[in-house]
């Protein structure tokens, strides 16, 4: 395909396979001995996996899956911690022409049952972290033929040792005859407002995102080293660590343990990454950490932030402390990856940026008409990485997808220079006193109070009317913060009707596995939280 950017769907050849393009092409380019992944395990020696080794492992896993009867278009679920096995397995499924879907590694048994039944997966690859939980619900998953266990565990009925199978597997594998339009990937929605659903993607979608965003915006190059904060089961992190870098022969750094500020500072100083894949929650923790003043982040050329809105005060504090450029962007499972982004060296603090080249954005009102500058509207995105539909969700698919057009359900306002500012979810608007109120606007105001560490605003019916309720985690130094303080702060900065009617102080906000505030859980459990209320 040459070295130039692939600028459109028509530039992609008909015969196309994600694994061949992003992984095996590095062998053809003479990079078999170049490092693809660095794995840092606490208490163990750091290991490096070359492109040649990763291709061989991927081929072996593909042959094991083929022997287990995996066929074209069948879903294979990965329930693995971060490491070369996760990455090689992900590519192996795609090489076979099957469909890859990855799930979080710290779910409850009932959650694994949901994903396995929903995918009707015949094979799941699991490890010591996930296998015991999957065993508890094995009987609830009638389509599941085999659990391939990656670690040395005593096997239960219906389980096979992946290690034993790999010992006998060939490291040669011919790619399936896939096209750019073959279905190959499921990206699950985060489930912050309901049960996760799969956005169904074709093989060409990762390439479109790689060319338009990873190369076109971030300018990823062969000398880049990418370190992710979120785990690889979160597609935002996996693509930026173990897919997009492979498209330019770069490397990713992975670690199986939990992300903490101490661990991230340590990994940055040890492996000297050039790109840090962040989420605002961890940025806040790092800024507040005792090592923030002394940590050496000089290797970083940029930080990518996504997954949730980056508060403007946090963004400014990060720049003051670390002097590392933050490129905030917005993406979704429905559009594969990021389609709205700031630019390195040209970020506008507080904004989500402008359209990634190749994507068309519109802000519309309830009638579908474009809104004027400064007015909030629902974001519609047109792009060639759009998913086909939600699996087994016909009505929701019709509401969201129209060919390559995606109705995001997100509200933004645009300034005169074309920068977009997030205003919350269209379906989260609250009608207070007959006037529509965006919870995010209240949250952004609350985050400016020095006594507030985290907050979320939801609506609650009270005597037949909807009122805004603020759930707040106090800063350690703000233990004396009261509900009256909170309400007066909002009244002083916003229209009085936007002030919360109830303030509930909580020790922590419920989060989804991807780190977003779990609003469904917050609404379900708010009544049981320890609260201080003001009429």
| Percentage, residues of the chain above pLDDT 70 | 94
Mean pLDDT over each residue of the chain, to the nearest integer: 91
The pTM score is 0.85
Q: For 446-472, b where at least 16 C-beta lie within 10 A, e where not — what string? A: bbebebbbbbbbbbbeeeeebbbbbbb
**Residue ranges covered by each domain of the chain:** 14-412, 429-528
- Residue 97 DSSP code: T
In the block, which residue shows the tokens 């779990």?
A: 518
- DSSP secondary structure string for all residues of 449-514: STTEEEEEEEEEEETTEEEEEEEEEEPGGGTT--HHHHHHHHHHHS-GGGS-SEEEE-S---B-TT
The CATH class of the 14-412 domain is: alpha beta
Q: Please give the class, per CATH, of domain 429-528.
A: alpha beta
Q: What is the pLDDT of residues 331-371, one digit of tens each?
A: 999 999 999 999 999 999 999 999 999 999 999 998 999 99
Domains 14-412 and 429-528 share a fold: no
- 426 DSSP 8-state letter: G
Average pLDDT over residues 374-382: 94
Work out the end-to-end distance of the chain between its first and last CA atoms, rounded to an integer number of angstroms: 65
Per-residue model confidence (pLDDT) at position 528: 45
Looking only at the bridges linking them, the beta strands covering 35-39 and 251-254 are: parallel
Residue 1 has pLDDT above 60, yes or no: no
Indicate if the alpha-carbon torsion angle 67, 68, 73, 75 is positive or negative.
negative
- For CA atoms 372, 516, 88, 181, the dihedral sign is negative
Name the pairing type of β-strands 183-188 and 405-414.
unpaired
């Amino acid at each position: 395909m040459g070295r130039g950017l692939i600028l459109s769907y028509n530039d992609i050849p008909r015969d196309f396979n994600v694994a061949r393009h992003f992984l095996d092409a590095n062998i053809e380019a003479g990079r078999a001995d170049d490092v693809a992944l660095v794995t840092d395990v606490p208490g163990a020696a750091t290991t490096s996996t070359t492109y040649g080794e990763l291709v061989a492992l991927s081929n072996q896993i593909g042959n094991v899956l083929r022997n287990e009867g995996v066929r074209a278009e069948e879903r294979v679920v990965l329930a693995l911690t971060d490491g070369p096995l996760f990455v090689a397995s992900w590519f192996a499924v795609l090489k076979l022409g099957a469909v890859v879907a990855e799930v979080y590694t710290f779910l409850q048994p009932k959650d694994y049952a949901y994903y396995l039944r929903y995918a009707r997966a015949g094979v799941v690859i699991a490890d010591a972290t996930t296998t015991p939980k999957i065993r508890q619900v094995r009987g609830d998953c009638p389509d599941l033929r085999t659990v391939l266990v990656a670690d040395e565990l005593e096997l239960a009925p219906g389980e096979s040792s992946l290690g034993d199978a790999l010992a006998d597997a060939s490291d040669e594998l011919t790619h399936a005859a896939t096209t750019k339009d073959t279905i190959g990937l499921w990206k699950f929605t985060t489930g912050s407002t309901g049960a996760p659903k799969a956005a169904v993607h074709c093989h060409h979608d990762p390439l479109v995102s790689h060319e338009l965003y990873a190369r076109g915006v971030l300018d990823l190059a062969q000398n880049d080293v990418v370190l992710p904060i979120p785990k690889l089961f979160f597609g935002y992190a996996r693509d930026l660590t173990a897919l997009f870098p492979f498209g330019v022969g770069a490397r990713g750094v992975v670690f199986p343990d939990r992300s903490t500020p101490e661990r991230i500072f340590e990994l940055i100083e040890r492996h000297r990454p050039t790109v840090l894949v962040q989420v605002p929650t961890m940025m806040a923790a790092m800024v507040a950490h005792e090592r923030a003043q002394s940590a050496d982040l000089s290797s970083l050329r940029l930080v990518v932030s996504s997954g949730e809105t980056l508060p403007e005060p946090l963004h400014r504090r990060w720049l003051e402390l670390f002097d590392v450029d933050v490129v905030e962007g917005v993406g979704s499972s429905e559009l594969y990856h990021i389609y709205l982004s700031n630019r390195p060296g040209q970020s506008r603090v507080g904004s989500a940026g402008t359209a990634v080249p190749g994507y068309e954005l519109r802000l519309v009102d309830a009638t579908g008409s474009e809104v004027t500058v400064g007015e909030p509207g629902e974001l519609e995105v047109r792009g060639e990485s759009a998913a086909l539909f939600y699996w087994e969700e016909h009505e929701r698919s019709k509401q969201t997808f129209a060919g390559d057009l995606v109705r995001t359900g997100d509200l933004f306002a645009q300034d005169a220079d074309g920068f977009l500012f997030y205003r919350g979810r269209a379906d989260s608007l609250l009608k207070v006193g007959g006037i529509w109120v965006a919870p995010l606007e209240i949250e952004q105001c609350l985050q400016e109070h020095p006594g507030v560490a985290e907050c979320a605003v939801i609506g609650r019916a009270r005597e037949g009317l909807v009122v805004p309720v603020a759930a707040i985690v106090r800063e350690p130094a703000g233990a004396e913060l009261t509900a009256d303080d909170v309400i007066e702060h909002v009244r002083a900065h916003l229209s009085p009707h936007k002030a919360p009617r109830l303030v509930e102080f909580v020790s922590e906000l419920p989060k989804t596995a991807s780190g977003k505030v779990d609003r469904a859980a917050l609404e379900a459990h708010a009544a049981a939280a320890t609260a201080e209320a003001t009429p």
